[in-house]
């Protein structure tokens, strides 16, 4: 009977202990909760909101108060494997790839002699994103994939794998990557839109000294010309910046690479300009002539070789020019006859490109001023398409033949890019002529000596060379647009100041060097940087 109260007492204390434990647990949880809230309020002062991140990203990437960017003079500081943040801002990478047939020719219906519908290339139209199948149906282009099934970016240079050490670039890539790409999608640099500005630091080299690389007929400092204000202008793009050109930085960027110009005499001027710019107009005896490696030797009876190639041993860089005024493959119809006609294959690239494309890293193509009936007749060029004399009336027209050829070679180069993912290819737009009151052989002249007297700005978004811009549309070949900006520079031509001038004949086609072609190379450098 006395055991029961003892048990009841023990049960009472057990219940009380459980209540105390629950109270203690609740108290501890409350303390932890309060401490956590206080800590959160403290940390919140260090956390940036989305709009703050976006603003910080813009502040890092855009600073209108900064002077024009200059690459480090020490070429060892130039990262050869990483795009600069400036280049990312001006030239965002493309993320969509198209399949291209691996062929060097454009299919042409040679049976059409009465003006029937032409192929897409003949019409000057290249589709974007879609390809035509053999039965004429549209097939959606599929991205290229690796053996493991992963997508492959054919525009990416496999050598560019070194991480950047630049703080600004690191922050932009790792922290603000989304904001950067959003801006790039909306703002793409149009280097052909901007204005000419006076720059007393110009020219980039001396027209007196650059004798090894510059033809005397284009060195206006060696002529009787006395006005040189045309040398003191620099092109400033409207919505983007360009680095100042420095030879050491160019060579560092082009380490173990080959730059090749293929085109007419204006392409040769751009090549000579580039050589003078890289060397600063100095002789540079260590630079070697390696033209023989590319078959560029003077043939018997020729005035000059078909081109030149120079090698800079310090960076293993080659700069090369090959003469191809039409960008067609030219073959003699009767090799045994010195006066034979020459087949002008409108749908084939020059044999030089077919042979040496694998050795080229940057390719610049141009053509235009040899596309006239007088040049074709003088050179005995006969239009061929599909390996036979052309019978298509629309292509037989000079303008039609030129457009067909430009589209053909751009299409061919584009089809080769998957094989050579490190290759960057450009089609340079036509260089304008400035003959007033006649043509070159009818008293035409270009006597103006006042720079940008007809205007200094180009505000249009589209290229004024519609033929070239349509040719590259939808391909991975880039447009080097120099036409409109050069149109404003009629005072920069050779004019009457030629070493071998003919009375009454002026050269309003070629340019004085130093001069306008230097700007073409600055635009090129900005797009390969």
Strand order in the sheet with 478-480: 288-289, 307-312, 317-323, 258-263, 362-365, 424-428, 478-480
Q: Cα–chain-centroid distance for residue 464?
A: 17
What pLDDT shows up at residue 23? 66
Mean pLDDT in residue range 446-463: 94
Q: Chain-wide mean pLDDT for the chain?
A: 76
Does residue 479 register a pLDDT over 90? yes
138-189 residue pLDDT tens: 333 333 333 433 333 333 333 433 333 343 333 233 322 333 323 333 457 8
What pLDDT shows up at residue 504? 78
The two structure tokens encoding residue 462: 């589209």
Q: Which of 60-64, 303-307, 310-314, 476-480 has the lowest mean pLDDT?
A: 60-64
* Reported confidence tier of residue 32, pLDDT bands at 50, 70, 90: low
| SS3 call for 425 | strand
Cis peptide before 514 (omega within 30 of 0): yes
- C-alpha distances in Å from residue 160, one per residue of 41, 128, 422: 44, 27, 9
Residue 193 · residue 499 · CB < 8 Å: no
What pLDDT shows up at residue 36? 57
292-305 residue pLDDT tens: 999 999 988 888 99
| SS3 call for 490 | helix
| Residue ranges per structural domain of the chain | 196-326+405-528
83-107 residue pLDDT tens: 344 444 444 444 343 333 333 333 3
Phi/psi at 494 (5° precision)? -60, -40
Which residues, at least 6 apart from 525, have a Cβ–Cβ distance to it below 8 Å?
Answer: 243, 245, 250, 253
What pLDDT shows up at residue 498? 81
Q: Which of 204, 189, 327 is CA-nearest to residue 261? A: 327
185, containing H or E segment: helix 177-186
What pLDDT shows up at residue 239? 85
What pLDDT shows up at residue 86? 42
Residues listed for the chain:
529
What pLDDT shows up at residue 362? 98
Mean pLDDT in residue range 58-67: 35
Which residues, at least 6 apart from 321, have a Cβ–Cβ distance to it below 8 Å?
Answer: 260, 261, 262, 267, 268, 271, 272, 307, 308, 309
Buried b (16+ CB within 10 A) or exposed e, 165-196: eeeebebbbeebeebbeebbeeeebbbbbbbb
What is d(CA 69, CA 65) in angstroms, rounded to the nearest whole number? 11
Neighbours of 314 (CB within 10 A): 13
Strands 388-389 and 381-385: antiparallel
Neighbours of 409 (CB within 10 A): 29
pTM: 0.69
> Cα–Cα–Cα angle for 38, 43, 44, nearest 5°?
95
């Amino acid at each position: 009977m006395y055991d029961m109260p003892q048990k009841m007492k023990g049960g009472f204390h057990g219940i009380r202990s459980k209540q105390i434990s629950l109270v203690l647990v609740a108290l501890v949880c409350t303390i932890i909760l309060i401490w956590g809230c206080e800590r959160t309020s403290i940390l919140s002062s260090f956390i940036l909101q989305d709009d703050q991140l976006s603003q910080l990203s813009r502040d890092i990437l855009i600073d209108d108060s900064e002077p024009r960017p200059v690459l480090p003079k020490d070429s060892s500081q130039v990262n050869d494997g990483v795009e600069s943040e400036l280049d990312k801002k001006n030239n965002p990478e493309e993320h969509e790839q198209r399949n291209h047939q691996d062929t060097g020719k454009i299919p042409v219906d040679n049976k059409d002699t009465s003006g029937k519908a032409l192929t897409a290339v003949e019409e000057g139209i290249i589709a974007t994103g879609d390809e035509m199948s053999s039965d004429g149906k549209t097939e959606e282009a599929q991205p290229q994939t690796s053996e493991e099934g992963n997508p492959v970016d054919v525009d990416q240079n496999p050598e560019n794998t070194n991480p950047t050490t630049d703080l600004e670039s690191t922050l932009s890539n790792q922290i603000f990557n989304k904001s950067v790409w959003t801006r790039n999608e909306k703002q793409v640099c149009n280097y052909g839109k901007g204005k000419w500005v006076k720059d007393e630091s110009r020219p980039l080299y001396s027209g007196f000294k650059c004798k090894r690389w510059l033809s005397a007929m284009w060195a206006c400092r060696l002529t009787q010309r006395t006005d040189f204000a045309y040398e003191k202008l620099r092109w400033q793009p409207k919505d983007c910046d360009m680095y100042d050109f420095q030879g050491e930085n160019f060579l560092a960027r082009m380490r173990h690479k080959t730059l090749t110009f293929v085109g007419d005499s204006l392409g040769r001027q751009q090549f000579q300009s580039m050589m003078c710019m890289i060397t600063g107009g100095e002789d540079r005896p260590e630079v070697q002539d390696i033209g023989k490696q590319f078959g560029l030797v003077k043939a018997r009876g020729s005035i000059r070789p078909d081109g030149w190639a120079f090698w800079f041993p310090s960076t293993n860089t080659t700069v090369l020019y090959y003469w191809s005024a039409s960008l067609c493959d030219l073959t003699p119809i009767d090799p045994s006859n010195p006066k034979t006609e020459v087949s002008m294959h409108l749908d084939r690239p020059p044999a030089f490109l077919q042979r040496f494309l694998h050795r080229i890293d940057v390719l610049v193509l141009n053509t235009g001023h040899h596309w006239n009936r007088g040049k074709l007749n003088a050179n005995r060029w006969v239009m061929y398409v599909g390996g036979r004399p052309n019978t298509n009336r629309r292509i037989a027209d000079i303008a039609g033949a030129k457009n067909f050829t430009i589209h053909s070679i751009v299409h061919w180069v584009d089809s080769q890019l998957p094989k050579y993912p490190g290759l960057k290819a450009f089609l340079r737009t036509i260089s304008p002529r400035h003959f007033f009151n006649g043509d070159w052989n009818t008293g035409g002249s270009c006597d103006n000596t006042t720079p940008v007297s007809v205007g200094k700005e180009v505000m249009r978004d589209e290229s004024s060379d519609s033929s070239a811009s349509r040719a590259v549309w939808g391909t991975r070949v880039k447009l080097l647009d120099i036409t409109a900006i050069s149109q404003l520079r009629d005072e920069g031509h050779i004019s009457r100041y030629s070493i071998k001038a003919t009375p009454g004949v002026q050269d309003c086609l070629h340019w004085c060097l130093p001069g306008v072609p230097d700007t073409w190379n600055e635009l090129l450098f900005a797009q390969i940087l």
